[in-house]
Structure 1
Protein backbone atom coordinates (compact mmCIF):
# COMPACT_ATOMS: atom_id res chain seq x y z
CA UNK A 1 0.00 0.00 0.00
CA UNK A 2 1.48 3.39 -0.98
CA UNK A 3 2.54 5.68 1.84
CA UNK A 4 0.07 8.51 2.56
CA UNK A 5 1.69 11.92 2.17
CA UNK A 6 0.36 15.01 3.91
CA UNK A 7 1.16 17.56 1.21
CA UNK A 8 0.24 20.60 3.30
CA UNK A 9 2.43 19.45 6.13
CA UNK A 10 5.29 18.96 3.70
CA UNK A 11 4.80 22.46 2.32
CA UNK A 12 4.84 23.86 5.85
CA UNK A 13 8.05 21.97 6.64
CA UNK A 14 9.65 23.43 3.52
CA UNK A 15 8.42 26.90 4.55
CA UNK A 16 9.99 26.40 7.98
CA UNK A 17 13.26 25.60 6.21
CA UNK A 18 12.90 28.93 4.37
CA UNK A 19 12.51 30.68 7.73
CA UNK A 20 15.63 29.00 9.06
CA UNK A 21 17.59 29.87 5.91
CA UNK A 22 16.60 33.54 5.98
CA UNK A 23 17.23 33.73 9.73
CA UNK A 24 20.70 32.24 9.33
CA UNK A 25 21.97 33.58 5.99
CA UNK A 26 19.54 36.27 4.85
CA UNK A 27 16.93 36.51 2.12
CA UNK A 28 19.34 36.65 -0.83
CA UNK A 29 20.94 33.33 0.05
CA UNK A 30 17.72 31.28 -0.18
CA UNK A 31 17.67 28.80 -3.04
CA UNK A 32 15.63 25.70 -3.84
CA UNK A 33 18.80 23.64 -3.40
CA UNK A 34 19.49 25.16 0.04
CA UNK A 35 15.93 24.41 1.15
CA UNK A 36 16.27 20.82 -0.10
CA UNK A 37 19.43 20.39 2.00
CA UNK A 38 17.91 22.03 5.09
CA UNK A 39 14.66 20.09 4.91
CA UNK A 40 16.17 16.71 4.08
CA UNK A 41 14.01 16.40 0.96
CA UNK A 42 15.33 15.91 -2.54
CA UNK A 43 15.59 18.78 -4.99
CA UNK A 44 12.87 17.06 -7.04
CA UNK A 45 10.52 17.04 -4.06
CA UNK A 46 11.09 20.74 -3.39
CA UNK A 47 10.47 21.54 -7.06
CA UNK A 48 7.34 19.38 -7.07
CA UNK A 49 5.81 21.63 -4.40
CA UNK A 50 7.44 24.87 -5.51
CA UNK A 51 8.51 25.00 -9.17
CA UNK A 52 10.05 28.44 -8.63
CA UNK A 53 11.83 30.21 -5.82
CA UNK A 54 9.21 32.96 -5.84
CA UNK A 55 6.37 30.47 -5.34
CA UNK A 56 8.25 28.99 -2.41
CA UNK A 57 8.89 32.40 -0.88
CA UNK A 58 5.26 33.47 -1.32
CA UNK A 59 4.09 30.34 0.45
CA UNK A 60 6.60 30.91 3.26
CA UNK A 61 5.35 34.47 3.68
CA UNK A 62 1.75 33.25 3.94
CA UNK A 63 2.87 30.52 6.36
CA UNK A 64 4.21 33.18 8.74
CA UNK A 65 0.64 34.07 9.72
CA UNK A 66 0.00 30.47 10.79
CA UNK A 67 3.24 30.25 12.75
CA UNK A 68 2.56 33.48 14.62
CA UNK A 69 -1.02 32.43 15.35
CA UNK A 70 0.14 29.14 16.89
CA UNK A 71 2.62 30.99 19.12
CA UNK A 72 0.06 33.64 20.06
CA UNK A 73 -2.53 31.01 20.97
CA UNK A 74 0.04 29.27 23.18
CA UNK A 75 0.98 32.60 24.85
CA UNK A 76 -2.67 33.42 25.54
CA UNK A 77 -3.32 29.92 26.88
CA UNK A 78 -0.58 30.47 29.48
CA UNK A 79 -2.42 33.51 30.89
CA UNK A 80 -4.79 33.02 33.80
CA UNK A 81 -7.95 35.13 33.39
CA UNK A 82 -6.24 37.68 31.14
CA UNK A 83 -7.33 41.30 30.95
CA UNK A 84 -7.45 43.15 27.63
CA UNK A 85 -4.06 44.60 28.50
CA UNK A 86 -2.63 41.11 29.09
CA UNK A 87 -3.89 39.94 25.69
CA UNK A 88 -2.55 43.04 23.93
CA UNK A 89 0.87 42.69 25.56
CA UNK A 90 1.04 38.97 24.76
CA UNK A 91 0.28 39.70 21.11
CA UNK A 92 2.97 42.36 20.96
CA UNK A 93 5.53 40.10 22.63
CA UNK A 94 4.89 37.38 20.05
CA UNK A 95 5.66 39.86 17.25
CA UNK A 96 9.03 40.83 18.75
CA UNK A 97 12.24 38.83 18.15
CA UNK A 98 12.62 37.82 21.80
CA UNK A 99 13.04 34.08 21.21
CA UNK A 100 14.32 31.95 18.32
CA UNK A 101 10.93 31.58 16.60
CA UNK A 102 10.25 35.30 16.94
CA UNK A 103 13.72 36.09 15.61
CA UNK A 104 13.21 33.89 12.54
CA UNK A 105 9.81 35.45 11.84
CA UNK A 106 11.18 38.96 12.31
CA UNK A 107 14.05 38.26 9.89
CA UNK A 108 11.57 36.95 7.34
CA UNK A 109 9.28 39.93 7.85
CA UNK A 110 12.10 42.45 7.41
CA UNK A 111 13.47 40.60 4.36
CA UNK A 112 10.10 40.49 2.65
CA UNK A 113 9.37 44.08 3.57
CA UNK A 114 12.45 45.17 1.63
CA UNK A 115 11.61 42.87 -1.30
CA UNK A 116 7.99 44.07 -1.31
CA UNK A 117 9.03 47.51 -2.50
CA UNK A 118 9.72 45.95 -5.92
CA UNK A 119 7.59 42.77 -5.84
CA UNK A 120 3.84 43.47 -5.84
CA UNK A 121 2.91 39.92 -4.77
CA UNK A 122 4.95 40.30 -1.57
CA UNK A 123 3.52 43.78 -0.98
CA UNK A 124 -0.03 42.43 -1.32
CA UNK A 125 0.56 39.71 1.27
CA UNK A 126 2.32 42.02 3.72
CA UNK A 127 -0.38 44.68 3.37
CA UNK A 128 -3.09 42.11 4.02
CA UNK A 129 -1.17 40.89 7.07
CA UNK A 130 -0.79 44.40 8.46
CA UNK A 131 -4.49 45.03 7.94
CA UNK A 132 -5.43 41.82 9.76
CA UNK A 133 -3.21 42.59 12.74
CA UNK A 134 -4.38 46.20 12.89
CA UNK A 135 -7.98 45.00 12.94
CA UNK A 136 -7.21 42.67 15.85
CA UNK A 137 -5.37 45.49 17.62
CA UNK A 138 -8.31 47.87 17.17
CA UNK A 139 -10.74 45.22 18.40
CA UNK A 140 -8.62 44.59 21.51
CA UNK A 141 -8.35 48.28 22.37
CA UNK A 142 -12.06 48.86 21.68
CA UNK A 143 -12.88 45.90 23.93
CA UNK A 144 -10.70 47.43 26.66
CA UNK A 145 -12.56 50.73 26.26
CA UNK A 146 -15.95 49.01 26.58
CA UNK A 147 -14.74 47.25 29.73
CA UNK A 148 -13.61 50.57 31.20
CA UNK A 149 -9.95 49.51 31.26
CA UNK A 150 -8.60 52.52 29.35
CA UNK A 151 -7.90 55.90 30.88
CA UNK A 152 -10.54 58.58 30.37
CA UNK A 153 -10.20 60.39 27.05
CA UNK A 154 -8.23 57.59 25.38
CA UNK A 155 -9.06 57.04 21.70
CA UNK A 156 -8.89 53.24 21.30
CA UNK A 157 -8.46 53.35 17.50
CA UNK A 158 -5.56 55.80 17.64
CA UNK A 159 -3.89 53.93 20.50
CA UNK A 160 -4.32 50.59 18.73
CA UNK A 161 -2.49 51.93 15.69
CA UNK A 162 0.20 53.69 17.74
CA UNK A 163 0.89 50.63 19.86
CA UNK A 164 1.03 48.33 16.85
CA UNK A 165 3.50 50.54 15.01
CA UNK A 166 5.57 51.01 18.16
CA UNK A 167 5.83 47.23 18.32
CA UNK A 168 6.75 47.02 14.63
CA UNK A 169 9.30 49.80 15.09
CA UNK A 170 11.09 47.85 17.82
CA UNK A 171 11.68 44.77 15.66
CA UNK A 172 14.74 46.16 13.84
CA UNK A 173 16.43 47.61 16.94
CA UNK A 174 16.01 44.30 18.80
CA UNK A 175 17.29 42.28 15.82
CA UNK A 176 20.35 44.53 15.58
CA UNK A 177 21.04 44.47 19.31
CA UNK A 178 20.31 48.14 19.96
CA UNK A 179 17.67 47.05 22.48
CA UNK A 180 17.59 43.86 24.49
CA UNK A 181 14.25 42.03 24.49
CA UNK A 182 13.60 43.08 28.10
CA UNK A 183 14.15 46.73 27.18
CA UNK A 184 11.73 46.49 24.26
CA UNK A 185 9.10 44.88 26.49
CA UNK A 186 9.65 47.60 29.09
CA UNK A 187 8.92 50.24 26.42
CA UNK A 188 5.70 48.44 25.52
CA UNK A 189 4.74 48.25 29.21
CA UNK A 190 5.41 51.97 29.64
CA UNK A 191 3.14 52.70 26.71
CA UNK A 192 0.38 50.49 28.10
CA UNK A 193 0.78 52.14 31.52
CA UNK A 194 -0.11 55.47 29.91
CA UNK A 195 -3.33 54.26 28.29
CA UNK A 196 -4.65 51.67 30.75
CA UNK A 197 -6.04 52.37 34.20
Structure 2
Protein backbone atom coordinates (compact mmCIF):
# COMPACT_ATOMS: atom_id res chain seq x y z
CA UNK A 1 0.00 0.00 0.00
CA UNK A 2 1.40 3.42 -0.90
CA UNK A 3 2.48 5.69 1.91
CA UNK A 4 0.03 8.53 2.51
CA UNK A 5 1.84 11.83 2.89
CA UNK A 6 0.30 14.90 4.46
CA UNK A 7 1.95 17.36 2.08
CA UNK A 8 1.01 20.45 4.07
CA UNK A 9 2.46 19.01 7.27
CA UNK A 10 5.61 17.86 5.45
CA UNK A 11 6.02 21.33 3.94
CA UNK A 12 5.74 22.85 7.44
CA UNK A 13 8.28 20.36 8.76
CA UNK A 14 10.74 21.37 6.06
CA UNK A 15 10.09 25.05 6.80
CA UNK A 16 10.64 24.57 10.55
CA UNK A 17 14.11 23.21 9.79
CA UNK A 18 15.03 26.13 7.53
CA UNK A 19 15.05 29.05 9.97
CA UNK A 20 18.27 28.10 11.74
CA UNK A 21 19.82 27.15 8.42
CA UNK A 22 19.12 30.60 6.96
CA UNK A 23 19.98 32.35 10.23
CA UNK A 24 23.34 30.60 10.48
CA UNK A 25 24.37 31.03 6.82
CA UNK A 26 22.36 33.99 5.54
CA UNK A 27 19.91 34.12 2.69
CA UNK A 28 22.45 35.11 0.06
CA UNK A 29 25.05 32.44 0.71
CA UNK A 30 22.73 29.41 0.66
CA UNK A 31 21.92 27.59 -2.53
CA UNK A 32 18.87 25.40 -3.04
CA UNK A 33 21.18 22.40 -3.29
CA UNK A 34 22.76 23.23 0.08
CA UNK A 35 19.34 23.64 1.66
CA UNK A 36 18.16 20.28 0.30
CA UNK A 37 21.33 18.56 1.54
CA UNK A 38 20.98 20.08 5.03
CA UNK A 39 17.33 19.00 5.17
CA UNK A 40 18.19 15.50 3.97
CA UNK A 41 15.95 15.67 0.90
CA UNK A 42 16.56 15.75 -2.83
CA UNK A 43 16.50 19.04 -4.71
CA UNK A 44 13.50 17.63 -6.61
CA UNK A 45 11.60 17.20 -3.35
CA UNK A 46 12.51 20.72 -2.29
CA UNK A 47 11.36 22.13 -5.64
CA UNK A 48 8.12 20.15 -5.35
CA UNK A 49 7.22 22.13 -2.21
CA UNK A 50 9.02 25.38 -3.00
CA UNK A 51 9.50 26.47 -6.64
CA UNK A 52 12.49 28.66 -5.70
CA UNK A 53 14.71 29.62 -2.80
CA UNK A 54 12.86 32.93 -2.58
CA UNK A 55 9.52 31.13 -2.44
CA UNK A 56 10.83 28.88 0.35
CA UNK A 57 12.06 31.93 2.24
CA UNK A 58 8.76 33.78 1.82
CA UNK A 59 6.77 30.78 3.02
CA UNK A 60 9.17 30.53 5.96
CA UNK A 61 8.63 34.19 6.88
CA UNK A 62 4.84 33.79 6.68
CA UNK A 63 4.89 30.60 8.77
CA UNK A 64 7.22 32.12 11.38
CA UNK A 65 5.09 35.25 11.63
CA UNK A 66 1.93 33.21 12.13
CA UNK A 67 3.60 31.20 14.90
CA UNK A 68 5.09 34.34 16.50
CA UNK A 69 1.70 36.05 16.53
CA UNK A 70 0.03 33.00 18.08
CA UNK A 71 2.68 32.84 20.82
CA UNK A 72 2.54 36.58 21.52
CA UNK A 73 -1.26 36.60 21.55
CA UNK A 74 -1.29 33.75 24.06
CA UNK A 75 0.84 35.87 26.42
CA UNK A 76 -1.34 38.96 26.01
CA UNK A 77 -4.88 37.59 25.85
CA UNK A 78 -6.85 37.91 29.05
CA UNK A 79 -4.95 40.93 30.32
CA UNK A 80 -7.41 43.69 31.05
CA UNK A 81 -5.55 46.98 30.65
CA UNK A 82 -3.64 48.43 27.72
CA UNK A 83 -0.65 48.88 30.01
CA UNK A 84 -0.64 45.20 31.00
CA UNK A 85 -0.92 44.11 27.37
CA UNK A 86 1.94 46.36 26.24
CA UNK A 87 4.17 45.25 29.12
CA UNK A 88 3.42 41.61 28.25
CA UNK A 89 4.40 42.34 24.64
CA UNK A 90 7.68 43.86 25.87
CA UNK A 91 8.30 40.81 28.07
CA UNK A 92 7.60 38.51 25.10
CA UNK A 93 10.13 40.38 22.94
CA UNK A 94 12.73 40.25 25.69
CA UNK A 95 12.21 36.52 26.32
CA UNK A 96 12.66 35.81 22.61
CA UNK A 97 15.27 38.45 21.81
CA UNK A 98 17.88 36.15 20.24
CA UNK A 99 15.29 34.70 17.89
CA UNK A 100 13.99 38.13 16.86
CA UNK A 101 17.51 39.45 16.30
CA UNK A 102 18.23 36.47 14.02
CA UNK A 103 14.97 37.09 12.19
CA UNK A 104 15.79 40.79 11.74
CA UNK A 105 19.28 40.08 10.43
CA UNK A 106 17.89 37.49 8.06
CA UNK A 107 15.36 39.96 6.64
CA UNK A 108 18.12 42.54 6.20
CA UNK A 109 20.20 39.99 4.32
CA UNK A 110 17.24 39.12 2.10
CA UNK A 111 16.61 42.78 1.30
CA UNK A 112 20.27 43.46 0.69
CA UNK A 113 20.06 40.88 -2.10
CA UNK A 114 16.85 42.37 -3.47
CA UNK A 115 18.46 45.78 -3.85
CA UNK A 116 16.68 49.10 -3.95
CA UNK A 117 13.65 50.09 -5.93
CA UNK A 118 10.47 48.25 -6.80
CA UNK A 119 12.18 44.84 -6.77
CA UNK A 120 12.43 45.00 -2.98
CA UNK A 121 8.66 45.26 -2.59
CA UNK A 122 7.59 41.73 -1.85
CA UNK A 123 3.95 40.70 -1.54
CA UNK A 124 4.63 38.03 1.08
CA UNK A 125 6.49 40.49 3.29
CA UNK A 126 3.67 42.99 2.83
CA UNK A 127 1.13 40.33 3.89
CA UNK A 128 3.22 39.55 6.97
CA UNK A 129 3.40 43.22 7.87
CA UNK A 130 -0.34 43.72 7.42
CA UNK A 131 -1.09 40.56 9.41
CA UNK A 132 1.19 41.77 12.23
CA UNK A 133 -0.44 45.19 12.24
CA UNK A 134 -3.93 43.66 12.35
CA UNK A 135 -2.95 41.36 15.23
CA UNK A 136 -1.47 44.27 17.19
CA UNK A 137 -4.72 46.14 16.70
CA UNK A 138 -6.69 43.14 17.94
CA UNK A 139 -4.64 42.16 21.00
CA UNK A 140 -4.00 45.71 22.14
CA UNK A 141 -7.61 46.62 21.30
CA UNK A 142 -6.65 49.56 19.11
CA UNK A 143 -8.86 51.10 16.43
CA UNK A 144 -6.29 53.10 14.49
CA UNK A 145 -4.05 51.17 12.06
CA UNK A 146 -1.54 54.04 12.13
CA UNK A 147 -1.02 53.49 15.85
CA UNK A 148 -0.47 49.76 15.26
CA UNK A 149 1.99 50.55 12.45
CA UNK A 150 3.81 52.92 14.79
CA UNK A 151 4.12 50.09 17.34
CA UNK A 152 5.52 47.76 14.65
CA UNK A 153 8.11 50.41 13.72
CA UNK A 154 8.98 50.82 17.39
CA UNK A 155 9.45 47.05 17.79
CA UNK A 156 11.67 46.87 14.70
CA UNK A 157 13.72 49.83 15.91
CA UNK A 158 13.96 48.46 19.42
CA UNK A 159 15.31 45.13 18.18
CA UNK A 160 17.81 46.92 15.92
CA UNK A 161 18.96 49.19 18.75
CA UNK A 162 19.34 46.20 21.09
CA UNK A 163 21.66 44.63 18.51
CA UNK A 164 24.06 47.57 18.62
CA UNK A 165 23.63 48.86 22.16
CA UNK A 166 21.91 46.39 24.48
CA UNK A 167 22.98 48.15 27.67
CA UNK A 168 21.30 51.41 26.64
CA UNK A 169 17.87 50.06 25.72
CA UNK A 170 15.55 48.05 27.94
CA UNK A 171 12.46 46.28 26.61
CA UNK A 172 10.68 46.93 29.91
CA UNK A 173 11.49 50.64 29.96
CA UNK A 174 10.44 51.06 26.33
CA UNK A 175 7.21 49.13 26.95
CA UNK A 176 6.43 51.31 29.98
CA UNK A 177 7.10 54.45 27.96
CA UNK A 178 4.94 53.19 25.10
CA UNK A 179 2.14 52.35 27.55
CA UNK A 180 2.31 55.86 29.04
CA UNK A 181 2.36 57.54 25.63
CA UNK A 182 -0.46 55.44 24.17
CA UNK A 183 -2.63 55.82 27.25
CA UNK A 184 -2.24 59.61 27.14
CA UNK A 185 -2.85 59.66 23.38
CA UNK A 186 -5.93 57.46 23.51
CA UNK A 187 -7.48 59.16 26.55
CA UNK A 188 -7.24 62.74 25.31
CA UNK A 189 -10.51 64.55 24.57
CA UNK A 190 -11.97 63.74 21.12
CA UNK A 191 -11.71 67.29 19.74
CA UNK A 192 -8.04 67.69 20.71
CA UNK A 193 -5.55 67.88 17.82
CA UNK A 194 -3.92 64.65 16.75
TM-score, normalised by the number of residues in structure 2: 0.71
CA shift for structure 1 position 82: 4.2
Q: Which gives a bigger RCO, structure 1 or 2 (Cα 8 Å, sep 6+)? A: 2
Partners of 2:5 and 2:168 lie apart in 1 by: 40
Determine helix, strand or coil for the equivalent of 2:28: helix
* Alignment match, 1:170: 158
Partners of 1:36 and 1:166 lie apart in 2 by: 36
Q: How many positions carry a matched residue from both structures?
A: 183
* Alignment match, 2:189: none
Determine helix, strand or coil for the equivalent of 1:28: coil
1:84 to 70, 82, 86: 82
**Which sits farther off after the overlay, 130-139 or 177-186?**
177-186
* Alignment match, 1:150: none
CA offsets 1:131-177 (integer angstroms, 9 cap, x no match) = 23223334555x368xxxxxxxxxx6654343331111122222x34
Partners of 2:154 and 2:182 lie apart in 1 by: 14
Give the direction of change, closer, same or farther, for the CA distance of 1:41–1:87 in structure 2 (3 Å limit).
farther
Give the direction of change, closer, same or farther, for the CA distance of 1:139–1:49 in structure 2 (3 Å limit).
closer
Partners of 1:181 and 1:104 lie apart in 2 by: 20
Partners of 1:6 and 1:105 lie apart in 2 by: 28
Determine helix, strand or coil for the equivalent of 1:27: coil
1:108 to 72, 90, 106: 106
TM-score, normalised by the number of residues in structure 1: 0.70
Alignment of 1:190 with 2:177, yes or no, is yes
**Which sits farther off after the overlay, 26-35 or 102-111?**
102-111
Q: Gaps spanning 5+ residues in structure 1: where?
A: 146-155
* Alignment match, 2:136: 137
Does the 8 Å contact 2:100/2:159 carry over to 1?
no
